[in-house]
Amino acid sequence: QTQLVESGGGLVQPGGSLRLSCAASTLTLADYSTGWFRQAPGKEREGILCISRSGTVSNYSDSVKGRFTISRDDARNTVYLHMNNLKPEDTATYYCGTLRSWFCRDRGMDFWGKGTLVTVSS
């Protein structure tokens, strides 16, 4: 069974940083396009960033520009979301999703993780 496992969430103060990890078992992330998504309470899931199979990055959220970045470590079969200057409005459950495609998209992924909670609060 394909699994994506997110980790790295937690409680952080405004202005702080976190790095989320999305680790895969039974599939090779370098063969997929992988994105990070988030869902705040009472809101729909939104796409944030995606890294394509070729390494091209797509940004789906203006609110994270200049603060969040995405990277992939093929040796560790892991995709990271680097989050800096966190704000209370970044509080959400963060999910990774992967798609067997050369191209990113902001919905309809083939596989999803179960999410990791990020809380930004003083």
Question: pLDDT class for 103, splitting at 50, 70, 90?
Answer: very high
Q: Phi and psi dihedrals of 24, rounded to 5?
A: -115, 145
What tens digit of pLDDT does each residue of 84-95 get?
A: 999 999 999 999
Q: Phi and psi dihedrals of 66, rounded to 5?
A: 85, -5
Query: What tokens appear for 86 in the block?
Result: 């966190």
Q: What's the CA gap between 11 and 72, in Å, rounded? A: 24
DSSP letter, residue 74: T
Number of neighbours of residue 10 by Cβ within 10 angstroms: 12
How high is the pLDDT of residue 106?
87
Burial class (CB in 10 A: 0-12, 13-18, 19+), 25: exposed
How high is the pLDDT of residue 98?
97
Whether residue 76 contacts residue 13, with contact meaning beta carbons closer than 8 Å, is answered with: no
Question: pLDDT class for 112, splitting at 50, 70, 90?
Answer: very high
What tens digit of pLDDT does each residue of 14-65 get?
A: 999 999 999 998 899 999 999 999 999 999 999 999 999 999 999 999 999 9
